[in-house]
Amino acid sequence: MSRLALPYRSPAASCVRAEPWQLVLDGATTDLPESLDFWDYRMDVELSRTMYVDLTAARTGAALTDGAVLTLAAIWTASGSNLRGSVQRVPLTGDGVRTVELHAVLPGAQLGGVLSLETVLVLSRTAGTAAPFAPRRAGSLLWDDAAALRLQGDAPLFPMTVIDFAHTSFRDGAAWHLQLGSDLNAAAMGSMLLLVNEKAEEVSVAFAHAARPGPVDRVVLSMVYSDCARIMVEHALLKEEFVDDADFPEDSLGTTLVNLFHQLFPGRTIQDLRQLRQNSPSLFASELQAATRILQEA
């Protein structure tokens, strides 16, 4: 429950009893983990939660009349995509304790980074004459809590789509193509797209199995990850503004590339790697293979 001082009366936190968020995988539920190590953008996130709301206690604590309508809502926000949406909204009327089952399937293509979940109990509509210091406006917060799930994965963490390369300008024999924007200050999620050729069945199947990859899938995903990391690093090194003291906006393509660089080459400078690529491309390629741990178990 938020501890911020509200300009109106609010009920005790005990008016809502919340079970932990549950992650649903293959029909089985488990408590929401801190991170989802096998997640990728083709994997939707299914969530559920059971809530018990004491409407009588909530209204009494907020000095609301018996006819006031409350709403229990859950909202998700993904830091990787800067998108947000509603998990579920449930209007609550009547008295006593109401049991509410929250459930949603969040599309993986809209997620990324840290998935934040905020559950709130708000006033939807008043009824009758409000008592002094009682909340009056629709949307007034009565109770809230928050949870988070860090989304990670074996696959590169950017949007992807499977298409037929025969209908594009790409070579039909290519298995994948990574598109990167030229503006390092632009939003990362709008500047990166991994295209997979649907004719490269081993690759499309590997991404479909990314949540539970088999031995062949792991090899394919490792190769795609290594190649995409190479493309991203080389793309960055070709940009004059990509330097050690660069300051790019949060969640921008430039920040994403800087974070990838320091993840792959801790303790190294951008200038050092740029010179290595210019002076010894073959050694640079070998260092990238080692940094991305190609064909190695994570």
Q: What is the pLDDT along the chain (298 residues), one digit of tens a residue?
A: 545 567 788 889 999 999 999 999 878 899 998 887 667 667 889 999 999 999 999 999 888 888 889 999 999 998 766 678 899 999 999 899 999 999 999 988 788 778 999 999 999 988 766 677 788 888 899 999 999 998 854 444 567 788 899 988 999 999 999 999 999 999 887 788 889 999 999 998 887 776 677 889 889 988 998 999 999 999 999 999 999 999 999 878 999 999 899 989 999 999 999 999 999 999 999 999 999 888 886 5
Q: Distance between CA atoms of 28 and 157, rounded to whole angstroms?
A: 25
Q: Distance between CA atoms of 79 and 139, rounded to whole angstroms?
A: 24
User: What pLDDT is attached to residue 174?
Assistant: 95
Cβ-Cβ contacts under 8 Å for 279 (sequence gap 6 or more): none
Q: In the structure encoding, which two tokens stand for residue 269, read together?
A: 């400078």
| Parts of the chain belonging to CATH 2.60.40 | 13-151
User: What pLDDT is attached to residue 156?
Assistant: 46
User: What pLDDT is attached to residue 286?
Assistant: 94
User: What pLDDT is attached to residue 190?
Assistant: 79
Q: Distance between CA atoms of 161 and 170, rounded to whole angstroms?
A: 14
Q: Which CATH number fits domain 13-151: 3.30.530, 2.60.40, 1.10.10, 1.10.3470?
A: 2.60.40
Secondary structure of the chain in HEC code, one letter for each residue: CCCCCCCCCCCCHHHEEECCCEEEECCEEEECCCEECCCCCCCCEEEEEEEEEEHHHHHHHCCCCCCCEEEEEEEEEECCCCEEEEEEEEEECCCCEEEEEEEEEECHHHCCCEEEEEEEEEEEECCCCCCCCCCCCCCCEEEEEEEEEEECCCCCCCCEEEECHHHCCCCCCCCEEEEECCCCCCEHHHCEEEEEECCCHHHHHHHHCCCCCCHHHHHHHHHHHHHHHHHHHHHHHCCCCCCCCCCCCCCEHHHHHHHHHHHHCCCCCHHHHHHHHHHCHHHHHHHHHHHCCCCCCC
**pTM, two decimal places:** 0.59
Smallest CA-to-CA distance from 238 within 257, 251, 255, 256 is with 257
Q: In the structure encoding, which two tokens stand for residue 32, read together?
A: 């929401």
Smallest CA-to-CA distance from 194 within 155, 220, 146 is with 155
Smallest CA-to-CA distance from 145 within 242, 14, 27 is with 14
Smallest CA-to-CA distance from 73 within 28, 139, 136 is with 139
Amino acid symbol at 23: L
Q: Tokens 């080692």 — which residue?
A: 290
